[in-house]
A and B are shown apart, each in its own frame.
Chain A
Amino acid sequence: MKADSNLKEKQERIRELGISPWVFPVNTGGCNGCDIEVVDTLTPYFDVERFGVKLVSSPKHADILLVTGPVTRQSLKTLKNAYEAAPDPKLVVAIGNCACGGGICHDSFTVLGGVDAVIPTDAYVPGCPPRPEALIYGLLLALGKVEQKVTRREYREEDLDGHTV
């Protein structure tokens, strides 16, 4: 699902409110690797609290929802509840491959296939699991503080007459 309101608008509104985005991690049935890397960003080597980010224990306090895991059938309701409880403006960041598109279990019968199948998603951080630095980069990208580095690449071979495929 694409985000309902423009990402730039949301980033601007969050910036107006203050500079400390609070984060609520939501695990929709993943292996837990990404969640541990999320907690690892709090630890001394990475110290995400430098940016004012704090891990909160209720979605009602959150500005950003960090969603991990492919969405399993059992956790669908809880994910929707968490999304609706978080107040606007809010950002949703999909962490790890399972959240980006279902990951290695994308075609399983209990998996709904990634976060954007259920709620509007603002940023994707691939990796299995993504390094804590990659997580920090993804968070800052969602907040609009760094530039995106990866772009779509396409290549078309030319045939003998010089036409591309």
Chain B
Amino acid sequence: MSGILKLLKVAIRRGRVTLNYPAEATPTPEGLRGRPVLDFDACIGCGACAKTCPPNALTVEEKDKVWTLRLSYGRCIMCGLCEEVCPVDAIRFSDEFELASTTKKDLEVELQLLRVKCGSCGTYFTTRRVLEETAAEYSELGDVYDEGLRGMVSLCPDCRRREWSEASAEAYRGARYES
């Protein structure tokens, strides 16, 4: 049988395979990486996602009292690294893929959180939610989480380093004189 007739046979047997999109929703497989969904209540503002994002779709801006996270679907490559590194599961991938838009502004998500001041020097150093999350995790240590440690948590890294080393030097001096 000539090639053309064989091909006709194949075509007739397979029939019509066209998916009836957009009249009907097309089936999406499980695990499809579509639009990343940011949970505004869960995000603590650590910035891990922005550090790891390869195309810089997630960017962080820190200015005085405000910590801003911006996500642009137009630049997101749906790789899933942000979902992997987020410590509180605030970013999850849905299976929505119909993300077309007539303006670039509609492709953006903006989240603004409050920052807190250092208890010693007064500079803004982290978000309120990160501090609350850290305090909540430390309080599970029980008695070890005493007043001294609680004070350390609300200091910026430079002040914390300074106070800790002063306290350690003090303890060392005390120990030497004892022996």
Contact residues of A with B, CB < 8 Å?
7, 44-47, 50, 97, 100-104, 106-107, 116, 122-128, 130-131, 133-134, 136-138, 140-142, 146, 148-157, 159, 165
A131 CA / B100 CA spacing, docked (Å): 11
Contact residues of B with A, CB < 8 Å?
16-19, 21-22, 26, 35, 38, 40, 54-56, 65-66, 72-78, 96-114, 128
> Contact between B106 and A148 (Cβ–Cβ < 8 Å)?
yes
Q: Decide: A46 near B107, CB < 8 A? Known: A103-B75, A134-B97.
A: no
> Contact between B109 and A101 (Cβ–Cβ < 8 Å)?
no
CB distance from B111 to the nearest CB of A (A): 5
CB distance from B178 to the nearest CB of A (A): 46
> Contact between A159 and B99 (Cβ–Cβ < 8 Å)?
no
> Contact between B112 and A136 (Cβ–Cβ < 8 Å)?
no
Q: List 12 A-B contacts (CB under 8 A).
A: A45-B18, A106-B75, A124-B102, A149-B99, A152-B110, A153-B109, A155-B112, A156-B112, A157-B112, A157-B128, A159-B114, A165-B113
CB distance from B17 to the nearest CB of A (A): 5
Q: Which residues of B contact A97 (CB under 8 A)?
A: 55, 74-77
> Contact between A46 and B113 (Cβ–Cβ < 8 Å)?
no
Q: Which residues of A contact B114 (CB under 8 A)?
A: 157, 159, 165
A30 CA / B18 CA spacing, docked (Å): 28
Residue on A nearest B20 in the bound complex, by CB: A50
Residue on B nearest A121 in the bound complex, by CB: B104
Q: Which residues of B contact A150 (CB under 8 A)?
A: 35, 73, 98-101, 106-107
> Contact between B18 and A127 (Cβ–Cβ < 8 Å)?
no
Q: Which of A124, A127, A140, A154 contacts B97 (CB under 8 A)?
A: A127
5 new A-B contacts, CB < 8 A, other than A138-B100, A155-B112, are A97-B55, A126-B101, A128-B78, A131-B97, A153-B110
Q: Which residues of B contact A140 (CB under 8 A)?
A: 22
A44 CA / B110 CA spacing, docked (Å): 40
> Contact between A106 and B56 (Cβ–Cβ < 8 Å)?
yes
> Contact between B102 and A127 (Cβ–Cβ < 8 Å)?
no
> Contact between B74 and A148 (Cβ–Cβ < 8 Å)?
no
A96 CA / B77 CA spacing, docked (Å): 9
> Contact between A152 and B100 (Cβ–Cβ < 8 Å)?
no
Q: Decide: A157 near B106, CB < 8 A? Known: A103-B55, A131-B97.
A: no
Q: Which of A46, A106, A124 contacts B100 (CB under 8 A)?
A: A124
Q: Which residues of B contact A146 (CB under 8 A)?
A: 22
> Contact between A151 and B77 (Cβ–Cβ < 8 Å)?
no
A153 CA / B35 CA spacing, docked (Å): 13
A101 CA / B57 CA spacing, docked (Å): 10
A124 CA / B105 CA spacing, docked (Å): 11
> Contact between A134 and B100 (Cβ–Cβ < 8 Å)?
yes
> Contact between A133 and B18 (Cβ–Cβ < 8 Å)?
no
